[in-house]
């Protein structure tokens, strides 16, 4: 296999051979923006079946290429023409994001100058072509192979050998898509929204990421993670000091609804197109914006109104005022049960509680109902006033 001895690929570990199967994997911490696992199984004396599992991140690769060719006028043409090994080889010195990753575009203006207003619509076809070229290189039996397109396949031919890569069978068992927005106080807005989502959503995780480096301690880095239908997950976090990332990921087979363009690149491009379109409809983005928005300053009248309306709802539903007001002031909301359904209906009708969900269709019980508007702001003000934090 060329993958084990190509002079330009210093990425692979020693091949593992077991019975009729050979396995080649990339080493840990390789100088590349891609990783792979290549498995060859003997079927008979004349045939073998080959599969390649890639761990790839187009954003990380693009960030690397932009850094490497930042002084070139026609970056789009250059990255399409370089060989596949150079395309995926990592450039030292990539800037890190707040979460200490290189999977971000540090200079969006450069990306737009190079690829236009819709960067990834222009870049992804190049990325797929280079992925196909790398695949042909990895499975070629020698250095002098010819690669031709036949329908949706790439066919590699050499003396006595033929390797057919069936791109029509490509799949993406896992995927992440995202978009980013500028915010002058990205870290602070995520930290503030942490309490908001903990109070309002049914199922949410707030994580505190702490990185210690030689020059800074980033102790104010939070991310919010919420489960979505179809085994997807939403993550919201500060990618940079002034940039918020909204990311949807899945860890099971996707549903690729986009039409498949002709040729070997068609299937992969259809998968990527479907994932990008699914990002737009995966949840109610309006609700996410509301969770991150700043709230009005509460007034004493808001707190008095909260107490009065809660007392009235408890009286109508026969519920305990003490238990109800304790839950609202301590936890910002109430989770629905069979015994408190009438109470929640009364509080929703009076404008005290509201139902917040990221899903496009709500689920059954138990549901979370949280304080709305000025009442939620009053709840936050009480927490701030009684907090034991010293502000560090």
Q: In terms of Cα–Cα distance, which of 226, 228, 247, 249 is closest to 238? A: 247
> How confident is the model at residue 294, as a pLDDT?
62
* Distance from C-alpha of 67 to C-alpha of 110, rounded to nearest angstrom: 9
More confident residue, 389 or 99: 99
CA distance 275 to 340: 40
Report phi then psi at 25, rounded to 5: -130, 155
The CA-based angle 48-54-60, given to 5 degrees, is 155
Domain parsing of the chain, residue ranges: 2-169, 175-292, 300-386
CB 190 within 8 A of CB 290: no
Among 269, 277, 347, 338, which residue's Cα sits nearest to residue 307? 347
Cβ count within 10 A of residue 292: 19
Q: Where are the alpha helices (DSSP H) in the chain?
A: 58-68, 75-81, 84-88, 108-115, 119-139, 186-200, 266-281, 285-292, 300-317, 321-331, 341-349, 373-386
Q: Is the model's pLDDT at 201 over the cut of 80? A: no
Q: What is the pLDDT of residue 217?
A: 30
Three-state secondary structure call for residue 378: helix
The whole model's pTM is what?
0.76
Helix or strand (DSSP H, E) at 236: strand 232-240
Does 362 have pLDDT greater than 90? Answer: no
Q: Domain 175-292 adopts which CATH fold?
A: TATA-Binding Protein (3.30.310)
Cβ contact 227:238 at 8 Å: no
pLDDT grade for 213, boundaries at 50, 70 and 90: very low
User: Tokens representing 165?
Assistant: 């890569």
Query: Angle at the Cα of 337 (from 334 to 342), degrees rounded to 5?
Result: 80
Residue scoring higher pLDDT (36 or 360): 36
Question: In which residue are the tokens 């004396």 written?
Answer: 45
- Across 12-16, 232-236, 310-314, the highest mean pLDDT is recorded for 310-314
Going by pLDDT thresholds of 50, 70 and 90, the confidence category of residue 61 is: very high
């Amino acid at each position: 296999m060329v993958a084990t001895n190509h002079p330009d690929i210093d990425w692979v570990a020693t091949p593992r051979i077991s019975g009729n199967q050979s396995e080649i994997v990339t080493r840990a911490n390789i100088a590349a923006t891609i990783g792979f696992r290549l498995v060859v199984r003997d079927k008979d004396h004349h045939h073998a079946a080959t599969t390649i599992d890639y761990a790839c991140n187009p954003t990380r690769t693009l960030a690397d290429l932009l850094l490497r060719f930042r002084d070139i006028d026609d970056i789009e043409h250059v990255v399409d023409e370089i060989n596949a090994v150079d395309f995926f080889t990592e450039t030292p010195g990539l800037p890190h994001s707040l979460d200490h990753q290189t999977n971000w575009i540090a200079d969006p203006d450069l990306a737009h100058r190079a690829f236009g207003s819709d960067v990834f619509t222009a870049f992804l076809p190049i990325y797929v072509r280079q992925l196909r070229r790398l695949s042909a290189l990895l499975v070629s039996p020698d250095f002098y192979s010819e690669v031709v397109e036949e329908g949706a396949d790439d066919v590699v031919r050499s003396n006595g050998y033929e390797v057919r890569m069936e791109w029509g069978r490509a799949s993406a068992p896992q995927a992440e898509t995202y978009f980013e927005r500028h915010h002058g106080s990205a870290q602070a807005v995520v930290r503030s929204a942490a309490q908001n989502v903990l109070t309002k959503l049914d199922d949410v995780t707030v994580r505190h990421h702490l990185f210690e480096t030689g020059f800074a301690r980033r102790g104010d880095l939070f991310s919010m993670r919420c489960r979505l239908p179809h085994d997807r997950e939403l993550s919201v976090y500060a990618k940079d000091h002034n940039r918020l990332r909204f990311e949807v990921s899945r860890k099971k087979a996707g549903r690729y609804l986009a039409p498949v363009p002709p040729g070997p690149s068609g299937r992969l491009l259809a998968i990527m197109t479907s994932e990008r379109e699914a990002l737009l409809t995966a949840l109610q983005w309006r609700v996410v914006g509301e969770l991150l928005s700043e709230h009005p300053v509460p007034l004493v009248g808001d707190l008095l109104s909260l107490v009065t309306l809660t007392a009235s709802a408890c009286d109508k539903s026969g519920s305990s005022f003490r238990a109800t007001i304790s839950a609202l002031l301590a936890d910002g909301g109430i989770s629905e049960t069979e015994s408190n359904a009438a109470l929640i209906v009364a509080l929703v009708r009076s404008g005290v509680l509201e139902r917040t969900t990221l899903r496009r269709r709500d689920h059954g019980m138990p549901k979370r109902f949280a304080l709305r508007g000025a009442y939620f702001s009053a709840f936050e003000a009480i927490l701030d006033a009684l907090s034991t934090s010293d502000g560090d």
